[in-house]
Amino acid sequence: MNVRGKVNILLVDDQPSRLLSYEAILGGLGQNLVTASSGLEALDRLMRDEFAVILLDVSMPGMDGFETAAMIHQHPRFERTPIIFVTAFHVTDLDRLKGYELGAVDYVYVPVVPAILRSKVAVLVELYLKRRELQALNAVLEQANGELAAANSTLQAEKAHELERLNATLEEANAELELANGTLQAEVVARERLDLALREADRKKDEFLAMLAHELRNPLAPIQNAVQLMDLSGLDDPQLVWCREVIERQLRHLTRLVEDLLDVSRITEGKINVEREPVGLPAVVSRAIETCRPLIDARRHELIVEMPGEPVRVMGDLTRLSQVVGNLLNNAAKYTENGGRIRVTVASEGDEAVIRVLDTGVGIPADMLPKVFELFTQVERTLDRAQGGLGIGLALVRRLVDIHGGTVVAHSDGRGKGSEFVVRLPLLQAANSPPEPAGHHASPAGDATPHRIVVADDNEDAAASLAMLLRRSGSYVETAADGAEAVETAERVRPDIVFLDVGMPRLDGYEAARRIRAEPWGRDVALIALTGWGQEGVRSRTRAAGFDAHLVKPVDFARVTEVLAGLRRPAAPSPAN
Q: DSSP class of residue 85?
A: E
Strand partners, 358: 343, 420
| Region 231-254 average pLDDT | 70
| SS3 category, 348 | strand
Burial 511-525 (b: 16+ CB within 10 A, else e): bbbbbbeeeeebeeb
CA dist 495 and 497 (Å) reads 5
Backbone angles phi, psi at 523, to 5 degrees: -70, -30
Per-residue model confidence (pLDDT) at position 34: 95
570 confidence band (pLDDT: 50, 70, 90): very low
Helices (H), 102-159: 114-153
HSE of 291 in the Cβ direction (CA atoms, 13 Å)? 23
CA dihedral 495, 501, 507, 512 (to 10 degrees): 40
pLDDT tens-digit readout, 382-438: 434 444 555 677 888 888 899 889 999 999 988 888 999 999 999 987 545 555 544
Per-residue model confidence (pLDDT) at position 24: 92
Helices (H), 481-576: 483-493, 509-518, 536-545, 557-567
CB 313 within 8 A of CB 278: yes
CB 120 within 8 A of CB 108: yes
pLDDT tens-digit readout, 510-538: 999 999 999 999 999 999 998 877 666 78
Helices (H) and strands (E) in the chain, counts: 15, 17
Per-residue model confidence (pLDDT) at position 391: 63
Per the rule left: phi > 0, alpha: psi between -120 and 50, beta: everything else, 474 is: left
CA dist 394 and 260 (Å) reads 10
HSE of 25 in the Cβ direction (CA atoms, 13 Å)? 21
Question: Taking each helix axis from N to C terminus, what angle separates 393-403 and 238-268, rounded to the nearest 10 degrees?
Answer: 50
444 confidence band (pLDDT: 50, 70, 90): very low
CB 345 within 8 A of CB 356: yes
Per the rule left: phi > 0, alpha: psi between -120 and 50, beta: everything else, 82 is: beta
Report DSSP letters for 54-102, one per residue: EEEES--SSS-HHHHHHHHHHSGGGTT--EEEEESSPPPHHHHHHHHHT
357 confidence band (pLDDT: 50, 70, 90): very high
pLDDT tens-digit readout, 198-218: 777 766 666 666 666 656 666
CA dist 410 and 261 (Å) reads 22
Burial 545-557 (b: 16+ CB within 10 A, else e): bbbbbbbbbbbeb
Q: Decide: pTM greater than 0.75.
A: no
Among candidate residues 276, 529, 304, 517, the one with its CA nearest the CA of residue 400: 276
Strand partners, 527: 498
